[in-house]
A and B are shown apart, each in its own frame.
Chain A
């Protein structure tokens, strides 16, 4: 049956700005950056976890009409498009400090939860990210 989650997708307003954020600040690597005509396939993954990747997609034609793309951008920037990425770390406080040093806008400090220690923030476009130090780490 279905075995593993390999590729997920989120919408971004600007793929270069997305690279600055996800690669330059969060430490992702570019797996594929391929231009085939109207669409730029931009796929990133974390070092040490190449089996799970994220496609950073810019809403627009010919995938969707300009009217629909505008609706997607509207929902994205309102934080309502549904882009959620949950990450795992060994040390939430250390990761929080490192991201802060790199200039990531972090609205909250690490919080102790029943399942571990975590903190949430957003990418420049409105997608919601969360980094957790889990009491019981997930296998990768």
Chain B
């Protein structure tokens, strides 16, 4: 592996960190590609090669993970949670959530509250698996 590859990894990680932080914003590929200082096509391809999934899928899982957290730690409605984590359509949210988690948001909520752990570990370990 070359220094170029390491530099590329670090750029992709920087863009991934932005998704971890700004998941509630309307993030798109052009914005993320700018963070990584690469073209859009290069960004999607390289991100996938680096982390094993597309940027869009990673962002979906980040949003779903945040929704899982809010469903179990707050009293906010499913619609509010959907909007809080960056989805703009309840239909899309419910479909993606059920597809990723295996059960709908309202059913998942019944699992009850979560213990307090540093948020970075919650983020990394509660994130539903990539398929």
Q: What's the least CB distance linking A7 to chain B, in Å?
A: 22
A107 within 8 A of B: yes
Give chain A's interface secondary structure class.
mixed
Give chain B's interface secondary structure class.
helix
Interface centre among B6, B18, B20 (most CB of A within 10 A): B6
Would A122 and B17 be within 8 Å (CB), given that A70-B1, A78-B50 are in contact? yes
Q: Which residues of A contact B14 (CB under 8 A)?
A: 107
**Contacting pair A122 B13 (CB below 8 A):** yes
Having A77-B13, A107-B21, A125-B10, one finds 18 other A-B pairs with CB under 8 Å, namely: A71-B1, A74-B6, A76-B6, A77-B6, A77-B7, A77-B9, A78-B9, A78-B12, A79-B13, A79-B16, A113-B116, A113-B118, A113-B119, A118-B119, A120-B119, A126-B9, A130-B118, A132-B118
Residues of B at under 8 Å CB distance from A? 1, 5-7, 9-10, 12-14, 16-18, 20-21, 50-51, 116, 118-120
Q: CB within 8 Å of B: which of A67-116?
A: 70-71, 73-74, 76-79, 86, 107-108, 111, 113-115
Interface centre among B18, B21, B118 (most CB of A within 10 A): B118
Instruction: State which of A113, A115, A126 has its C-beta within 8 Å of the C-beta of B10.
Output: A126
Q: How far apart sit A107 and B16, CA to CA, in the bound complex (Å)? A: 11
Q: Which residues of A contact B119 (CB under 8 A)?
A: 111, 113, 118, 120
**Contacting pair B5 A74 (CB below 8 A):** yes
**Which residue on B lies nearest to A129, using beta carbons?**
B120
A13 within 8 A of B: yes
Q: How far apart sit A118 and B117, CA to CA, in the bound complex (Å)? A: 12
Q: What's the least CB distance linking A81 to chain B, in Å?
A: 11
**Contacting pair B6 A73 (CB below 8 A):** yes
A128 within 8 A of B: yes
Q: Which residues of A contact B9 (CB under 8 A)?
A: 74, 77-78, 126
Would A130 and B116 be within 8 Å (CB), given that A74-B1, A78-B13, A79-B13 are in contact? no
Q: What's the least CB distance linking B70 to chain A, in Å?
A: 14
